[in-house]
């Protein structure tokens, strides 16, 4: 096949791979993350042609720029199966709710009511296709702060050739999130409640991926946003939201992104680099403000597990942002990225202020801010009073931070994180009532739950997986 796109590692020491190998492989062999060797460019002429497309047609046009080793007819079938009205409840897949000149970008219409469904439903169709072609099985090991796990489990449950081992922080998710994951009874789903925080779960997953012999022997793959296919599927909704929001292609907009692991905002950074006319990307953190600290000070200092705050926007209770490495790679290249992550290993942080790139940070077009519990509660109340729209706590974090960077005449597009139903306690605190539940989820917390508890111990995790597979 002509013009196969090659993928390289952010640390520069891994062999070049095609799209299918990257999807099934997860973390690169040198510990880095996969990135396209060359960036596709999209001009305004193409954007105008894309403006009227359905979500599936737009997704096909964007994804086919990268997945060049999959025949076009097969790729279209995968995408059409992933994004259906039956799964997402609306034909458009992504909805826009106007707040004056700004918009909430509705990304939580999928089966688990979270934006993670936008990528995970694609992976849920892509994985079985690739495994069938290669006659392989895959054991997905993932980490979640609440929403990735649920979306992955519901996308992969009952699928052939796949097992899912999902690590989540024991007792640190909302009751709804917990029930949505642990109540799944399919034989190919294994929920592991880890006695730690999300970053401990993420570290365990990375440790398994970095053990090349174990990874190969047990056919391990990744479903977290370390998997490029996740980022790719998220790039699509930036294009969709932009094209739906503007009257004329070329008009600037700002995107507002609540982000803990940096995957959601990185998709926007990449979409803009491809040619999407985004003026600013505004990043919102909660009390776990590692990313805000970097964009304010130039110092990236991941926190220790004991220093991670338990907050009312728990999907962002993250202190090591995996996809941040991809951003640094775009700025500085593989060699410098490898050096900086060595510094993190050796001293716990790196400081970019001594690098000339820090003097150019205005050109990055990224703003950041922090939102606290009282800010998100107040924002939920304000949005409801003004627009009769209920937003979840994470989306509220974004709206609160975005107000600090609002410029007249530039629409702000707030990326929705989840349906408010998933965080009913905080919404009730703000509004005095719980969001209405659909019938299927009326008593989800009362369903039987199936999970195992594990300490933060990579050897015990390895033994557990081997036992389940034997």
pLDDT tens over the chain, length 470 residues: 447 789 999 999 888 889 999 998 877 888 899 999 999 999 999 999 999 999 999 999 999 999 999 999 999 999 999 999 999 999 999 999 999 999 999 999 999 999 999 999 999 999 999 999 999 999 999 999 888 889 999 999 999 999 999 999 999 998 999 999 999 999 999 999 999 999 999 899 989 988 989 999 999 987 877 899 999 999 999 999 999 999 999 999 999 999 999 999 999 999 999 999 999 999 999 999 999 999 999 999 999 888 999 999 988 999 999 899 999 999 999 999 999 999 999 999 999 998 999 999 999 999 999 999 999 999 999 999 999 999 999 999 999 999 999 999 999 999 999 999 999 999 999 999 998 887 778 889 999 999 999 999 999 999 999 999 98
Nearest by Cα to 220 from 208, 203, 207? 208
Q: How far is CA 387 from CA 101, 377, 415, 426, 429, in A?
A: 12, 16, 17, 19, 18
pLDDT (0 to 100) of residue 438: 77
For residue 388, the domain's CATH number is 3.40.50.1100
DSSP 17: B
Q: How many CB atoms lie within 10 A of CB 75?
A: 20
Question: Rounded to the nearest 5 degrees, what angle is found at the Cα of 210, between the Cα atoms of 224 and 330?
Answer: 60
The residue to which tokens 């801010």 are assigned? 369
Per the listing, tokens 């939920």 go with 380
Contact 175, 314 (CB under 8 A): no
As a whole number of angstroms, the distance between CA 444 and CA 340 comes to: 44
Residue 1: the pLDDT is 41
CA distance 225 to 461: 21
Q: How far is it, in rounded angstroms, from Cα 414 to Cα 256?
A: 5
- Confirm whether 415 is domain-assigned: yes
Strand duo 220-221 + 299-300: pairing: unpaired
In a domain, 331, yes or no: yes
- Contact in structure between 18 and 6 (CB atoms under 8 Å): yes
Q: Is residue 335 part of a domain?
A: yes
CA angle 73, 78, 83 (to 5 degrees): 125
Q: What is the pLDDT of residue 436?
A: 84
The CA dihedral of 328, 333, 335, 339, to the nearest 10 degrees, is -10
Q: How far apart are CA 300 and CA 28, in angstroms?
A: 22
Q: Which helix (H) or strand (E) holds 252?
A: none
What is the predicted pLDDT for the residue at 423? Answer: 93
The answer to whether residue 295 sits within a structural domain is yes
Q: Is 87 a catalytic residue?
A: no
Q: What is the pLDDT of residue 222?
A: 79
Give, as one character, the DSSP assignment of residue 103: E
Phi-psi domain of 70 (left: phi exceeds 0; alpha: psi -120 through 50; beta: other):
beta
Residue 233 lies in a domain: yes
3-class SS of residue 119: helix
Nearest Cα residue to 415 out of 84, 103, 101: 103
Give the count of domains, the chain: 1
Catalytic residue among 68, 116, 206, 240, which?
A: 116
Is residue 134 one of the residues assigned to a domain?
A: no
Quote the radius of gyration of the chain (alpha carbons, Å): 21
Query: Cβ contacts of residue 222 below 8 Å, gap of 6+?
Result: 25, 26, 27, 140, 141, 142, 205, 209
- Domain limits for position 426: 228-431
Residue found by looking up tokens 């036992």 in the block? 467
Distance CA 455, CA 193 (A): 9
Rounded Cα–Cα distance for residues 407 and 465 (Å): 51
Residue at 452 is within a domain? no
Distances (CA, A) of 244 to 247, 387, 412: 8, 20, 13
Q: Name the token pair of 130.
A: 């690739």
Block residue for tokens 């989840």:
418
Long-range contacts of 78-81, Cβ-Cβ distance < 8 Å, separation of 24 or more: 78/122, 78/125, 78/126, 78/129, 79/122, 79/125, 80/56, 81/125
Q: pTM for this one?
A: 0.93
Which residues 6+ apart lie within 8 Å of 2 measured at CB? none
């Amino acid at each position: 096949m002509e013009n196969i796109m090659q993928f390289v590692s952010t640390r520069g020491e891994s062999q070049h791979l095609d799209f299918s190998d990257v999807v099934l492989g997860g973390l690169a062999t040198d510990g880095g993350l996969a990135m396209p060797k060359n960036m596709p460019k999209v001009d305004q002429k193409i954007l105008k042609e894309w403006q009227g497309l359905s979500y599936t047609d737009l997704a096909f046009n964007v994804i086919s720029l990268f997945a060049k080793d999959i025949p076009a007819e097969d790729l279209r079938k995968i995408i059409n199966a992933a994004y259906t009205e039956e799964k997402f409840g609306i034909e458009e897949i992504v909805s826009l709710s106007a707040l004056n000149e700004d918009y909430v970008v509705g990304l939580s219409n999928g089966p688990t009511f979270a934006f993670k469904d936008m990528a995970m439903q694609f992976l849920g169709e892509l994985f079985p296709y690739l495994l069938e072609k290669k006659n392989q099985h895959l054991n997905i090991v993932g980490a979640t702060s609440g929403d990735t796990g649920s979306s992955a489990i519901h996308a992969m449950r009952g699928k052939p050739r796949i097992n899912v081992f999902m690590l989540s922080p024991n007792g640190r998710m909302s009751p709804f999130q917990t029930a949505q994951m642990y109540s799944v009874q399919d034989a190919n789903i294994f929920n592991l409640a880890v006695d730690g925080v999300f970053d401990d779960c993420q570290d365990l997953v990375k440790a398994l991926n970095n053990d090349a012999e174990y990874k190969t022997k047990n056919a391990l793959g990744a479903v977290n946003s370390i998997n490029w296919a996740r980022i790719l599927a998220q790039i699509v909704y930036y294009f969709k939201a932009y094209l739906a929001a503007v009257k004329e292609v070329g008009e600037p907009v700002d995107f507002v992104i609540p982000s803990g692991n940096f995957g959601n905002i990185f998709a926007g950074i990449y979409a803009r680099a491809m040619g999407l006319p985004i003026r600013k990307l505004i990043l919102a953190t909660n009390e776990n403000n590692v990313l805000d600290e970097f964009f304010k000070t130039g110092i990236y200092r991941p926190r220790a597990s004991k220093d991670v705050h338990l907050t009312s926007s728990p999907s962002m209770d993250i202190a090591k942002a995996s996809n941040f490495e991809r951003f640094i790679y775009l700025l500085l290249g593989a060699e410098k990225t490898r050096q900086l992550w060595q510094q993190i290993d050796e001293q716990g942080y790196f400081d970019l202020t001594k690098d000339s790139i820090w003097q150019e940070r205005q050109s990055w077009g990224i703003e950041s801010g922090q939102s606290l519990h009282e800010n998100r509660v107040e924002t939920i109340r304000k949005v409801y009073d003004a627009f009769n729209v209920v937003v979840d706590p994470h989306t509220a974090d974004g709206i609160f931070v975005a107000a600090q960077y609002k410029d007249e005449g530039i629409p702000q597009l707030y990326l929705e994180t989840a349906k408010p139903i998933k965080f009913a306690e905080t919404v009730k605190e703000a509004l005095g009532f719980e969001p209405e539940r659909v019938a299927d989820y009326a008593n989800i917390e009362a369903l039987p739950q199936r999970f195992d508890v594990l300490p933060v111990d990579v050897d015990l995790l390895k033994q557990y997986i081997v036992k389940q597979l034997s």
